Structure 1
Amino acid sequence: MSIINHLLQKMTAYYAGDPKRIHHFIKVHSFSKQIGELEQLDKSTQFVLEIASIVHDIGIKVAEEKYGKCHGKLQEEEGPAVAKDMLTVLGVDASIIARVCYLVGHHHTYAHIDGMDYQILIEADFLVNMFEDDFSKSAITATYGNIFKTASGKRICKNMYAIHEQESS
């Protein structure tokens, strides 16, 4: 079994009984994989992106247990350690784990995006969150204009949410 499939199984078990969280990371992974491939990421960056997209919200569970809430900054604080432990057990290379943990620890920080893996993770997460959180049309349009940078992410967002370029200008 591939590391990606093994990780999907581990995360499904991690969130056992919480289908909403399971659906979320599977959808974010699917969009991340698609955008990364369409943007022709190199194999290593694609691998990091896919792993990060699966574990990006891993801090939610710990944050809820510790603080009774799980807003973005708490996810960023609590997630990297849990992700590191899970990925280490799976035998993922330390340099990949370091980058994944960085992405998990910054996926709600939209300034100073330092790579395509980071950009695509944020875009994929927004594609899913805009639907799951029932964003208004104006919020979707603003997010499209402020967040989306990749040609593939923009195309998917425009098609999903029927955005016309003049709306986002």
Structure 2
Amino acid sequence: MDATDRIFLAMIDYFANDPKRIQHLTKVHAFARLIGREEQLDARTQFVLESAALVHDIGIRPAETKFGSCSGALQEQEGPAEARRLLENLDIDPDVVNRVCFLVGHHHTYTDIHDPDYQILVEADFLVNLYEDNESKHAASAALRRIFRTPSGSRICKTMFGLEEE
């Protein structure tokens, strides 16, 4: 079993009895994987991206326990330490762990995105959240203009939500 599968299974265990969160991370991972491949990321960046997609919401449980809220800011605050514990227990390379923890700690911050793994993670999470939150076509169009930068993510967003060419 490869490292990505080990992380995936660990996250299923982590969110045991919470199928909604397991479904969410599965969909974000699928979109991140696809967009990363379409954008031709190198193997290391692709692995970082997929790992981050799987663990991106790991801060929800500690945020809810400590604060009774799972706001994006609290997820970013609580997620990196939780992700670090999980990934280190799986013997993931320390450099990968550090980058994944950075991404987990910023996946609800939509400014100063300069790296493809960060951009793609945000786009994949948006694709899933727009659908899961039953957002309007107008909201999807606004997200397309404001958030999406990769050709692949933009194309998926347009196709998925039936948006006119922008």
TM-score, normalisation: structure 2:
0.99
Q: 1:30 is matched with which residue?
A: 30
Given residue 136 of structure 1, which amino acid in structure 2 is its aligned partner?
S
Where 2:82 maps in the other structure, the secondary structure is: helix
CA RMSD of aligned residues (A): 0.6
Q: 2:70 is matched with which residue?
A: 70
Post-superposition offset of 1:99: 0.5
Q: 2:117 is matched with which residue?
A: 117
Given residue 23 of structure 2, which amino acid in structure 1 is its aligned partner?
H
Post-superposition offset of 1:6: 0.8
Post-superposition offset of 1:18: 0.4
Give the ranges of 4+ consecutive aligned residues of structure 1 lying more than 6 Å apart after TM superposition.
none
Q: How many corresponding residue pairs?
A: 166
Q: For each residue in 1:6-53, what CA deviation from the matched residue of structure 2 results, as whole angstroms up to 9, or x when unmatched?
A: 111110010000000000000000000000000000001000000000
Q: 1:96 is matched with which residue?
A: 96
Distance in 1 between residues matched to 2:130 and 2:26, nearest whole Å: 15
Distance in 1 between residues matched to 2:126 and 2:70, nearest whole Å: 17
1:87 aligned onto 2:116: no
Distance in 2 between residues matched to 1:47 and 1:117, nearest whole Å: 9
Post-superposition offset of 1:137: 1.4
Q: 1:144 is matched with which residue?
A: 144
Unpaired runs of 5+ residues, structure 2, are none
Distance in 2 between residues matched to 1:73 and 1:47, nearest whole Å: 25
TM-score, normalisation: structure 1:
0.97
Given residue 41 of structure 1, which amino acid in structure 2 is its aligned partner?
L
Q: 1:3 is matched with which residue?
A: 3
Post-superposition offset of 1:136: 1.3
Distance in 1 between residues matched to 2:116 and 2:137, nearest whole Å: 26
Unpaired runs of 5+ residues, structure 1, are none
Post-superposition offset of 1:165: 2.1
